[in-house]
Each structure stands twice: as C-alpha cells, then as structure tokens.
Amino acid sequence: MYKPWTGNLELKFSRRDLSTQLIYNYALAPWKIQRSLYPEGEEVCHCVLLHTAGGLVGGDRLSAKIHLQPYTQALITTAAASKVYRSSGAESWQNIHIHIDEGANLEWFPQETIAFAESKYRQTTRIELAPDATITMWEIVRFGRTARGEKFLDGNWRSHTEVWRDQSPLWIDRQYLHGNPEMLDSPNGLNAHAIAASFIFVGTTVEPELIDRIRSTWEEGNYQGKSSVTRSLAGLVCRYCGDSSGDARKWFQQIWQLLRVSYRNRKICVPRVW
C-alpha cells in the first residue's frame, strides 16, 4: 500500500553586507534544495527546489515556510516540471506561507505544473508583505498530458492565494476547475485550451504607462491564445490561456524584464535550470 509523503521545507534569507544569504535550510523528503547560486552577483540569491519523488500522488501533503529578512532579494524556482498524478479518491495538498520583510523582494517562479486526468489537487499560498516589500510570481498549469492526447477529465484543481500587508488584503485569488467536457470547452473555463497561467506582481503601484508597455509585448509577440493585463491597487495581474507553455513563459519573461528594470534597475537573469 502506498504511504503518502508528508514533506516540509523551511528557508530563511538574511542580508549580510551586500549579500543575500540562505542562513537556514530545513528540508524533509520529498523536498530538497540545491546549493545557493549567484549568477547575477551577491545581492540576489538563486535557489532551486527539487521534488525527489517526481510528482504528487493522492494523499501527499507538502508544506513550505519561506522568510526573507529586511532588504534581501531571492529568486526561487524548481528543477523540473511538477506533476500531479491521478487519484482514486484522496487529494494531494500543498500549503506555502511566505513572509517578506521591509524592502525585501522575492521572485517565485516554479516551472510548469502538469495536472493529469483524474488528479485531485489543492494548494494554498499566503504571503505577508512588510512596507516596501514586493513579490513577483507566476504559475503555469497544463491540464492533461496533451502530448499524448489526454484531457483533464474527472479531476479537480483548487488554488487559493492571498497577499496581505498590515492585516489588509492586497490581492486574493481563488481558482477551482472541475474536469469535465463543459468546463474544458466553455469560454468561462479553459475555452478548449490546455494551459492556464498567471503572472502576479504585488507590493507597489504600477503606473499606467508600464501597463501599456506590457500589453504591447503581447501584441508584438505573435503569441497564440488569449491574454489579459490588469492593473490593481498594489501591483498587476497578467493571465494567459492557450496551448504553449513556451509562449506563456516567454511572455512572462518579457513582463519580468520590464518590472525588473523599472523597480530594481536590474535586467533579468534566467535560471540555468530552465
């Protein structure tokens, strides 16, 4: 009989001189973290997470706590695409709690998640932002193994993300997809596409001129699918719905570049594991 995984991860980053350092690292299987990397200098710490089991099975429980101390900068990604396997009944579950202190910035860029047909998955993410702290993150989800003609049927996907500052919500997003033909084909569902993706920036006001520049990247990129760019009170939300995770990532990297230059005066540095 399969014994579900109960994985835990705790990371803490601190600023020492001009360097962001991972000062505390605890990982319980199947979580594992590779060594810190500094491809763009000591100010930004790149970390790569690894799921040693290869994917989530019904009943698996993963949790992570990430803390960025004041004025740190970290980029966290994953070593490979994540997989959520089909389940005969039990949900797999992931809970992430992120605390970002004053003036700190986290870039949270996991690679694509593939939700198999008949998979059941629930994730919750809560982010606490201090003054002048920002979070930049994306999520790219492929519903069904489309390379083999599989559709996301008889599955469930639930996602709940919250970003707070001073006990006030800055952004709350709830998603629920129940795999069935009506949802897959409906304009209110996946609209006959396989990929739903979101790019989120929260923590400071985005000027309308920058929103216009971001929209122009889509118009000039000859991408397939649908997109939206929405300015919020404390950031922006970009959505992609289509069939190419490559297009989603390429567009998101263009958005990331514009935000990086505008708010950090630094060009993007693509992690080498991508």
Q: Is residue 273 part of a domain?
A: no
Q: Is residue 190 part of a domain?
A: yes
> Do residues 91 and 56 touch, judged by C-beta distance below 8 A?
no
Given a cut of 90, is residue 5 above it in pLDDT? no
Q: Is residue 269 part of a domain?
A: no
- Which residues have C-beta within 8 Å of that of residue 207, sequence separation ≥ 6? none
Q: Is residue 109 part of a domain?
A: yes
Q: How many CA atoms lie within 13 A of 17 on its CB side?
A: 3
Domain hosting 226: range is: 7-264
As for how many domains the chain has, the answer is: 1
Cβ-based neighbour number of residue 126 at 10 Å? 15
Q: What is the pLDDT of residues 189-208, one digit of tens each?
A: 899 999 999 999 999 999 99
Q: Is residue 224 part of a domain?
A: yes
CA atoms of 202 and 77, how far apart (whole Å): 18
Q: Is residue 1 part of a domain?
A: no
Can you give the length of the chain in residues?
A: 274
For residue 1, name the pLDDT band (cuts at 50, 70, 90): low
- For every residue of 7-44, DSSP letters joined together read EEEEEEEEEETTEEEEEEEEEETTEEEPPPB-BTBTTE
| Mean pLDDT for the stretch of residues 29-55 | 94
| Mean pLDDT for the stretch of residues 146-165 | 94
Take residue 160 and report the two structure tokens written for it.
């709940």
Among the listed residues 96, 178, 190, the one whose alpha carbon sits nearest the alpha carbon of residue 137: 96
CA atoms of 67 and 70, how far apart (whole Å): 10
> Do residues 76 and 22 touch, judged by C-beta distance below 8 A?
no
Q: Is residue 272 part of a domain?
A: no
- What pTM, to 2 d.p., does this model score? 0.95
Q: What is the pLDDT of residues 210-231, one digit of tens each?
A: 999 999 999 999 899 999 999 9
